[in-house]
A and B are shown apart, each in its own frame.
Chain A
Amino acid sequence: MEVKAELVGNVWKVVASPGDSVEEDDVLMILESMKMEIPVTAPVPGSVKEIRVKEGDVVKEGQVVAVIE
């Protein structure tokens, strides 16, 4: 399942790594937008298949930032 950024911003911290197993609502990474820390969370439990961004990247709204299996 693809995880998308809900708004435009910078990737501030990447918390999860490929292979991690995650529960629903676990934080995968934190975006920074409008000076707020905006967590991106796992929509479903599973394992992290891909993290498609790195810290400092600019992401757009709706951009796929991670994939959960």
Chain B
Amino acid sequence: MSEGAPADVGGEFEEKVGELRGRRRRNLEMGGSEKIAKQHERGKLTARERIDLLFDPGTFVEFGLLAHQQSLRGNPVDPPEKTPADGVITGHGLVDGRQVWVIAYDFTVMAGSMGAVGESFKTTRVRELALRYRKPIVWLLDSAGARIQEAAGSTFAGSGQLFYDQVQMSGVIPQVAAMLGPCAAGTAYIPGLADFVPMVKGTASMSLGGARLVKAATGEDVTDHDMGGSQVHCYESGVGDNEVENDADCIAAVRRFLSYLPPSNLEPPPWQPADDPGDRNVEGLEKLVPASPRATYDVRKVVQRIVDKDSWFEIKPTWAKNLVIGLARMAGHPIGVVANQPMSKGGILDVDAADKAARFIRLCDAFNVPLVYLMDVPGFLVGSGVEKEGIIRHGAKMLYATSEATVPKVTVVMRKAYGAGYFVMCGKGYGPDLIVAWPFAEISVMGPEGAVNIIFNKVVEASDNPEATRAELVAKIRESISPYVAAAWAMIDDVIEPAETRRVIVQALEQARSKKLDRPWRKHGNIPV
């Protein structure tokens, strides 16, 4: 006992600290062992297990652990031990040593429903601080949606600011919405506005209205999974990005995605040492890429040989497969790849492919990630079907995004560069820092066959041997669309051997590293949507 201290001080001190420990312990237990067992039975991890996977060990700092449900308008509420942390776990931690903020809905507490405390105070605080420090934000979504007993009534008028905040964050800090369970009703706009949306097969779903609301509103009988599982969003709607097998794979995908991006638009993307020489020849392309422009191949195999070994991270691999996008590294620097995929629909551009490209190009441009275009495009799909789908409006998005992008842009014309496909894949007029072609590239307003049909239709018809005449004319036009004509005009910077592609891109990215383009002031452009 120290001199002069009241006799009971040690006891009260311990008691108060003990109470704090008790409160913390209780809330760390989430919805309790039964609910946790149920969560595991569904094949899902708990919110705290997910956070442990997301952050480097021991780096999570929690905000609002001691929160719980509060009474609105004098409504009765559950006792505090029933709503630990108010069903949402918030804070920050390190991902590969860099600060990232998290909002993790806890399905073991009132089905992860969004309560007044969680929404108005806890998640709001995270959004505010992530933006204040310019650090990425990750949502781990597993939530039944709004907690109706708290949200009903016209105080709804005060809700919804989360999406407003997300829009302010857009292009300032990376936003990831990991879909690990249901995400029904208005909260589906969280992934709708996010930059990356991995979805767990089987357990994740998202829809503007949950199954019960749909039944009440329209009479349609459908489950949350059938309406909004990954089989819908990663294959048909394009709202989801990458379908993953389980929670651990989902969190790994989040960490991987973030590894290519800077914390904010004010910083360059993170460089990592690479053990793959930047001047390495690209071997084996002659076995991968048929010189005949009509034949197909898998462009992803080409991408993987060009970029740093094991650095290729494809995004949206199962939607609009005729265009391939993804993040990778070259000489350790992150890049975004936009490549036509001859293996799917011949690599033709359609409405979904244009949307996919435009959104990705804007992501890269917003976060200072240089773009590499690998071009082998027979053009935009034409015909009455795509006109009804608005191909002009959708194709214009890709034109817009490529024109707007001020990050370093490198274009490699591998084989075909036909029509407006050449423009949207960053042709000469779209500000590439380097544009080169492979020796068998064809650059033309259209393919030789189409050109003959239109320009020499009458000559072919008048011929005694129309097929021979047609073949002769096609061969003649094919000569005129070789890359040497464009190179002779210096409209492209060089013709390169395919094996030189990696070295040439690495050099061009280095050349453009200090690029800074100023555009005329405007509030914002008006991208066709």
Residues in A lying within 8 Å of B, measured CB to CB: 6-8, 33-39, 60-61
Contacts and interface: CB of A to CB of B under 8 A. Distances in A.
B385 A36 contact: no
Contacts of A37: 294-296, 346
Nearest to A60: B385
Contact of B383 (A8, A35, A36): A8
Contacts of B296: 36-39
A18 to B, nearest CB: 25
Interface of B: 293-296, 342, 344-348, 350, 378-379, 381-383, 385, 447, 449-450
A35 B345 contact: no
A60 to B, nearest CB: 8
Given A33-B346, A36-B296, A37-B295, 17 more contacts: A7-B348, A7-B350, A8-B383, A33-B348, A34-B346, A34-B381, A35-B294, A35-B447, A35-B449, A35-B450, A36-B346, A37-B296, A37-B346, A38-B345, A38-B346, A39-B296, A61-B385
Interface of B is mostly: loop
A38 B378 CA distance: 12
Contacts of B383: 8
B381 A36 contact: no
A34 B378 contact: yes
A61 B347 CA distance: 15
Nearest to A32: B294
Contacts of B294: 35-37
Contacts of B350: 7
Given A35-B294, A35-B450, A36-B296, A6 B345 contact: yes
A33 B447 CA distance: 12
Nearest to A36: B346
Contacts of A33: 345-346, 348
Contacts of A34: 346, 348, 378-379, 381-382, 447
Contacts of A61: 385
Contacts of B344: 6
Nearest to A6: B345
B449 A7 contact: no
Contacts of B342: 36
Contact of B347 (A8, A36, A60): A36
B81 to A, nearest CB: 52
